[in-house]
Amino acid sequence: MLTIKQITENTEAVIRGLEKKHFKNAKEAIEQVIAFNDKRRSTQNQLDKNLAEVNSLSRTIGQLMKEGKKDEAEMARNRVAELKETNKTLQADMDSATTDMQNVLYTIPNVPYDEVPEGTSAEDNVVEKMGGMETELPKDALPHWELAKKYDLIDFDLGVKITGAGFPVYKGKGARLQRALINFFLDEARNSGYTEIMPPTVVNAASGYGTGQLPDKEGQMYHCEVDDLYLIPTAEVPVTNIYRDVILDEKQLPIKNCAYTQCFRREAGSYGKDVRGLNRLHEFSKVELVRIDKPENSKQSHQEMLDHVEGLLQKLELPYRILRLCGGDMSFTSAICFDFEVYSEAQKRWLEVSSVSNFDTYQANRLKCRYRTGEKKTELCHTLNGSALALPRIVAALLENNQTPEGIRIPKALVPYCGFEMID
C-alpha cells in the first residue's frame, strides 16, 4: 500500500507511475486519497483542540468550586459536556475518513520503478538474458502429457475423478521426481543462507490484505467461507505475514526465509488458453524465497535472488531466459519484477517458472513491518520474494527436453535426490 507521504510529496510522479502500470482512473484515485486525508487531518486538529480545552476546563472546575464560584463552575461543566458530545461526532468523522482513505489505498497498485519498461502486455517485456543448453530432440518428440502417460508418471484423468481438472495425481517415478525437486530446491536455498519455514497453507483475510492478494486477487483464491480462511496461492503470503505488526532490530536484517508449500489458484478466466498437462494447474508445489531488508540494501537483495534462481536453472540444464516485465504485465504489488522462463522444446514455447519481485515499502506498509535504526527511529522495511522454483512447468520442461529413445534422462544435479538416472 502506498504511504500518504509518498502520495503527498510526489503526487504527479505517483500518478505517472500508476499510469505506467495502466491503472485506470489513477488521478481520480489519488485525489480521493488526498481529500480523505485532508478531512482526517482537519478533523484530527479540531478534535485535538477540543480535547485540550476539555482538559483545561476540567482542571479549572475544581479551582472554581474551591473559590465558591458555583455558577462559573457549572458553566464550565456544561461546556465540557458540550465538547464531549462534539468530540464523539468528530471521532466518528475521523474514523470514517480514515476507513474511506484506507479502502481507496487498498485498490491502488504499487508504483513501478523508473527502470520498468513501458508496455501494456507480455509482448512488451524485455529479454534481459538467455542461457542454458540448447536441446535437440528426436523427430517423434512427445509433449510432457504424452510422456507422463507413456511412462506412467502422472495421471490427469485420475485427478479429474478425485477432484477435478487441474489437480493431477503423480505416480511412481513421477512422484519421486517431484519430491526430488522439492528437496533439491530447499537444499540449494539453505546453502544460500535461507532459513526453512513450514507455514500453514490456509490464511486469514488479514494475511491476504497484508501481502496484497486481497482485494486484488480475491477471485483467484479458494475461499473457505464458513471459517473465512483462504487457501494460499503462494508461500509468500504466510511467510511474509510472520512479520506483520513487527518492529525488527536493524541487526536482524536481512531476513532470508524459504518455504515449500502446496499452492492453490482458481485460475479463473484461464479457460481457452493452453492449459494442457502441467501448463496451468489449480494445485501445485512450489519453493518460495522471501526476503526482508533495509531500503538501501534491497536492490542488492533482489539481484542475489535473481542469481540464485538462475543458478537453479543452470544446474537443471534447462534453456532459459530472463525477462524484465513492463508496467502493464507486472503484478499489483510489484515495484519491479523479473520473470524466468524455460523453453519447452516439444511444445515449442516458453514456460514461466518464476517471478522475482521487489515490493519496495508497499507490502511493509500494509503489514506494518518496520525496523528500528541505530538512531532508534522506526522505518518501513522493503520486502522481496521469488519462486525458486514452481514445479509443474519445470517438470514439463525436464520431461520434454530430456527425452531420448532409451527414456528420459535425469540431470546430474537431481540424480542423488531421485535415486535414478533414467525414467524408462
Residue 135 known to bind ligand: no
Cα distances (Å, whole numbers) of residue 150 to 158, 274, 345: 15, 21, 18
Residue 304 known to bind ligand: no
User: What's the grid cell of residue 113?
Assistant: 520503478
Distance from C-alpha of 369 to C-alpha of 11, rounded to nearest angstrom: 24
- Tell me which long-range contacts 94-102 makes (C-beta under 8 A, separation of at least 24): 94/40, 94/43, 94/44, 94/47, 97/36, 97/37, 97/39, 97/40, 97/43, 98/36, 98/40, 100/36, 101/32, 101/33, 101/36, 101/37, 101/40
Residue 309 known to bind ligand: no
Residue 355 known to bind ligand: yes
The Cα angle at residue 105 between residues 101 and 109, in degrees rounded to 5: 165
Residue type, 403: Q
Residues 6+ apart with CB under 8 A from 403: 137, 138, 141, 142, 147, 346, 409
Residue 331 known to bind ligand: no
Distance from C-alpha of 390 to C-alpha of 398, rounded to nearest angstrom: 13
Cross-strand partners of 165: none
Residue 190 known to bind ligand: no
Residue 288 known to bind ligand: yes
Residue 265 known to bind ligand: yes
Residue 110 known to bind ligand: no
Residue 77 known to bind ligand: no
Binding residues for L-serine, as ranges, are 234, 265, 288, 385
Binding residues, as ranges, are 234, 265-267, 288, 352-355, 385
Binding residues for ATP, as ranges, are 265-267, 352-355
